[in-house]
């Protein structure tokens, strides 16, 4: 006898389909219709969970931040030497390519076209990651003042907005940079994160 799927299982199926499509399509080309075709959900039934495609992406983004929080909890669960902290954080970011892409490329659209309750839910996950980073900094650098630690935290969070575009330039961007002689061999997410975090976290 078939079991009735829970709303959580349905939502996860929708998020997984969205992630799969976003891996091969632009944000603007991913539609609820396309997502529906990748799931067992009809288009009208998807609207029982999400009002817009941006809400689907925002929930996917929230899931990414929650996964990052799990890594941050592991990093913060034991004392980390200052010289190792940037490396551990860079390794955690290396696994969050989707999070960094959404952060750099589609944040405004997701937030602007989602209901406030969806945005609040996302901001909780984002805020949790900031709190975990702050706790890690406090444990690693007990000599820093709250103001110094806050500056490091804010700079680190701002830095994350630019990692993905530098690590994953599009073919069109590369063609344009080649045409004007701009270097674009910036490195991987890990390499860029490590270099940037080493400068920020001192």
pLDDT digits (tens, 9 = 90+) for 48-65: 999 999 999 999 999 999
Return the pLDDT at 82. 85
Contact between residue 132 and residue 73 where contact means Cβ atoms under 8 Å apart: yes
pLDDT tens for each residue of 66-109: 999 999 999 999 988 888 999 999 999 999 999 999 999 999 99
Q: Which CATH number fits domain 59-200: 1.10.220.150, 1.10.357.10, 3.10.20.30, 3.40.50.10680?
A: 1.10.357.10
Helix residue ranges, H only, the chain = 7-22, 32-37, 43-46, 53-76, 82-94, 97-105, 107-112, 116-140, 146-167, 171-180, 189-200
The rounded distance, in Å, linking the Cα atoms of 14 and 39 is: 7
Contact between residue 131 and residue 72 where contact means Cβ atoms under 8 Å apart: no
pLDDT tens for each residue of 176-197: 999 999 988 889 999 999 999 9
Taking 90 as the threshold, does the pLDDT of residue 154 lie above it? yes
* CATH 1.10.357.10 domain locations along the chain: 59-200
DSSP string covering 34-77, please? HHHHTSSS-HHHHTTT-SSHHHHHHHHHHHHHHHHHHHHHHHHT
The rounded distance, in Å, linking the Cα atoms of 150 and 58 is: 26
The rounded distance, in Å, linking the Cα atoms of 100 and 164 is: 6
Q: What tokens were used for 42? A: 């009809």
Nearest to 100 by CA among 58, 61, 136: 61
Pairwise pLDDT comparison (201 vs 129), residue with the higher score: 129
Taking 90 as the threshold, does the pLDDT of residue 7 lie above it? no
* CATH 1.10.10 domain locations along the chain: 1-49
1-49: CATH number: 1.10.10
Pairwise pLDDT comparison (152 vs 170), residue with the higher score: 152
Return the pLDDT at 4. 60
The rounded distance, in Å, linking the Cα atoms of 52 and 176 is: 34
């Amino acid at each position: 006898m078939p079991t009735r799927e829970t709303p959580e299982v349905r939502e996860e199926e929708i998020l997984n389909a969205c992630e799969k499509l976003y891996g091969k399509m632009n944000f603007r080309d991913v539609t609820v219709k396309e997502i529906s075709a990748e799931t067992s959900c009809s288009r009208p039934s998807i609207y029982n969970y999400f009002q817009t495609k941006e809400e689907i992406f925002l929930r996917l983004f929230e899931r990414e931040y929650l996964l990052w929080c799990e890594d941050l909890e592991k990093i913060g669960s034991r004392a980390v030497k200052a010289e190792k902290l940037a490396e551990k954080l860079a390794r955690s970011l290396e696994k969050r390519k989707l999070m960094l892409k959404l952060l750099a490329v589609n944040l405004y659209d997701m937030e602007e076209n989602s209901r406030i309750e969806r945005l609040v839910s996302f901001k909780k996950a984002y805020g949790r990651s900031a709190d975990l980073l702050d706790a890690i900094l406090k444990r690693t650098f007990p000599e820093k003042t709250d103001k110094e630690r806050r500056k490091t935290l804010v700079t680190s969070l701002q830095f994350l907005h630019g990692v993905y575009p530098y690590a994953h330039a599009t073919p069109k961007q590369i063609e344009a940079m080649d045409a004007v002689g701009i270097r674009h061999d910036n490195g991987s997410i890990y390499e860029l994160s490590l270099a940037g975090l080493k400068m920020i976290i001192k």
